[in-house]
């Protein structure tokens, strides 16, 4: 099969075979009987073999037609089921979603995505709780939590939806004054801007390495750290969503690139798989995750 038209012919054949009648299949598909007959005939010509035995009383398979039907029918039924459930999910979607999230990924990716869904589905309400506290979603009244973690969360039902890469960087002004670290351990001689973790992780050929960093600026807010680094205060380690534009503009310069190749998974976590509402399913579909 080479074209979309071939798929139409296959669908026509499957329906005729299921009803054992051109007339009934045509009524179900709301097309003419002659249209179906022509479609099946073109498929047979394409395959080079007859699929159906026709007479005035009944329609039956040829041996080849039976095998072809059995090969195609399950796929067609699955597509029909998927389409039906998808339509019902969209049609019936309403209610409130409470989401726990944090940081720039939540601000720049999740929040705009939620706004877009609300525009399409006015029956949905959304409440976004931005907090660095890692709530236990199984004991709090949240429908969804967005988490960044190397290991899959063990509480609730977790699905990976994306990944995050962090960059170590500093302003040209800072590096001109204090030099460029060539290895992670050299960071102990620099003013590092501290976030939620005072040990920075690195990966290289010989394994993993953690460096205890120190500095005169500490904040739980990524944008505050980014701005301090832009001002020349010190070296930061932040996700790409904060710093990539500045790296492209060369207002921040990447450091230790050979040691920061590993990405960290981003997870969508729900209290349980059974508790996922149609509204949350819509959000997950934006990441290519389909749950039915």
129: β partners: 100
pLDDT tens profile 229-275: 999 999 999 999 899 999 999 999 999 998 887 788 888 899 988 88
The CATH classification of domain 95-163+265-285, taken from the options 3.40.50.720, 3.40.190.10, 3.40.50.1000, 3.90.1150.10:
3.40.190.10
Length of the chain: 292
Q: What confidence category does residue 81 fall into, taking pLDDT thresholds of 50, 70 and 90?
A: low
Determine how β-strand 95-101 pairs with β-strand 124-130. parallel
- pLDDT computed for residue 3 by the predictor: 46
In a 13 Å sphere around the CA of 34, the CA atoms on its Cβ side amount to: 0
CB 259 within 8 A of CB 211: no
d(CA 60, CA 83): 29
Q: What confidence category does residue 183 fall into, taking pLDDT thresholds of 50, 70 and 90?
A: very high
What is the architecture of the domain spanning 164-262?
3-Layer(aba) Sandwich (3.40)
Nearest to 211 by CA among 168, 164, 150: 168
Phi, psi of 264 (to 5 degrees): -110, 130
The CATH classification of domain 4-91, taken from the options 2.40.70.10, 1.10.10.10, 2.40.50.660, 3.40.50.1860:
1.10.10.10
Identical topology for domains 95-163+265-285 and 164-262:
yes
Domain map (residue ranges) of the chain: 4-91, 95-163+265-285, 164-262
For the chain, the average pLDDT equals: 84
Q: Which residue has the tokens 């589905």?
A: 121
In a 13 Å sphere around the CA of 33, the CA atoms on its Cβ side amount to: 6
d(CA 289, CA 159): 8
pLDDT tens profile 14-47: 888 888 888 888 888 788 888 888 888 888 888 8
Average pLDDT over residues 142-169: 88
Q: Is the pLDDT of residue 148 over 70?
A: yes
Q: Which of the two residues, 16 and 289, has the higher pLDDT score?
A: 16
- pLDDT computed for residue 182 by the predictor: 94
pTM: 0.57
CB 169 within 8 A of CB 235: yes
């Amino acid at each position: 099969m080479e074209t979309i038209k071939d798929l139409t012919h296959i669908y026509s054949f499957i329906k005729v075979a299921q009803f054992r009648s051109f007339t009934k299949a045509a009524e179900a598909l709301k097309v003419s009987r002659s249209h179906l007959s022509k479609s099946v005939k073109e498929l047979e010509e394409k395959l080079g073999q007859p699929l159906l035995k026709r007479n005035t009383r009944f329609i039956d398979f040829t041996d080849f037609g039976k095998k072809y039907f059995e090969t195609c029918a399950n796929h067609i039924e699955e597509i029909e089921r998927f389409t039906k459930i998808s339509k019902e999910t969209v049609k019936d979607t309403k209610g409130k979603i409470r989401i726990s999230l944090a940081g720039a990924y939540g601000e720049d990716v999740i929040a705009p995505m939620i706004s877009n869904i609300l525009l399409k589905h006015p029956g949905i309400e959304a409440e976004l709780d931005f907090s660095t506290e890692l709530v236990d979603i199984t004991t709090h009244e949240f429908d969804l939590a967005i988490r960044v973690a190397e290991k899959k969360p063990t509480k609730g039902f977790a699905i990976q939806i994306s990944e995050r890469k962090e960059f170590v960087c500093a302003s040209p002004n800072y590096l001109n004054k204090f030099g460029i670290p060539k290895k992670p351990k050299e960071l102990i001689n620099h003013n590092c801007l501290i976030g939620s973790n005072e040990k920075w992780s690195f990966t290289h050929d010989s394994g993993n390495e953690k460096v205890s960093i120190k500095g005169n600026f500490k904040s739980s807010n990524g944008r505050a750290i980014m701005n301090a680094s832009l001002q020349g205060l010190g070296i930061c380690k932040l996700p790409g969503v904060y710093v990539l534009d500045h790296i492209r503009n060369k207002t921040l310069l990447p450091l230790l690139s050979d040691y920061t190749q590993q990405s960290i998974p981003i997870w969508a976590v729900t209290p349980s798989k059974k508790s996922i509402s149609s509204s949350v399913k819509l959000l997950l579909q934006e990441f290519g995750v389909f749950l039915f």
